[in-house]
A and B are shown apart, each in its own frame.
Chain A
Amino acid sequence: EVQLLESGGALVQPGGSLRLSCAASGFTFSSYAMIWVRQAPGKGLEWVSTISGSGGSTYYADSVKGRFTISRDNSKNTLYLQMNSLRAEDTAVYYCAKDSYTPRFPDAFDIWGQGTMVTVSS
């Protein structure tokens, strides 16, 4: 079964840092681009970042560029999101997702994790 499992969400103070992880199983992880999407409480979906299957290409939303870093460890089938200089407006459920097509990307997101909550507050 194809599965994504996020972890690492927490309550953090403004200006703080946090690293999210997403453990993947059931597919050839290194073949697919992976994505982080977030959803603020009561709001819609916002794309955050995408990384290619090899990890050699990364893309960011302007709202997180320079503060967040996406990475992956294909030997561990794990995706990461390092979040620095966190702000109140980063408060959201963070989902990891799998791109549906290989090798071309981006494409639609066919598998999603259950999400992990990040709260930025003093």
Chain B
Amino acid sequence: EIVMTQSPASLSVSPGERATLSCRASQSVSNSLGWYQQKPGQAPRLLIYGASTRATGIPARFSGSGSGTEFTLTISSLQSEDFAVYYCQQYNNWPLTFGGGTKVEIK
């Protein structure tokens, strides 16, 4: 099983600032990596697929990078609606696995 490790577990950021979230895979997943946003009481929403492609309707302030085992989600200028938990997920190998999440909080 591929273990996905996200860091940090939580991140305090002021509105308008940049946030950088990391995701590491225990073995290569090529670019088969997605990022999801989840707000309290809501279902997850796909932000990024293929490690770097924004999903439909996702603002340009969200960007993804990386390949192999190291990935990054960057939110260039945090808006109030961006405070949420973010998960990475690999879909290169069965079983599909998620990271433990990074909670982005208001500073």
Question: Contact size class for A?
Answer: 20 to 34
- Given the interface pairs A107-B91, A108-B91, the reply to whether A45 lies near B49 with Cβ below 8 Å is no
18 A-B interface contacts by CB (under 8 A): A44-B98, A44-B99, A44-B100, A45-B89, A46-B98, A47-B89, A60-B95, A62-B95, A95-B44, A106-B94, A107-B91, A109-B89, A110-B46, A112-B44, A112-B45, A113-B43, A114-B42, A115-B43
- Across-interface contacts of A109 in B (CB, < 8 A): 34, 36, 44, 46, 89
Q: Are B43 and A100 in contact (CB under 8 A)?
A: no
Instruction: List residues of B (38-93) whose CB comes within 8 Å of A's CBs.
Output: 38, 42-46, 49-50, 55-56, 87, 89, 91
Query: Is A11 among interface residues, defined by CB-CB distance under 8 A?
Result: no
Question: Contact size class for B?
Answer: 20 to 34
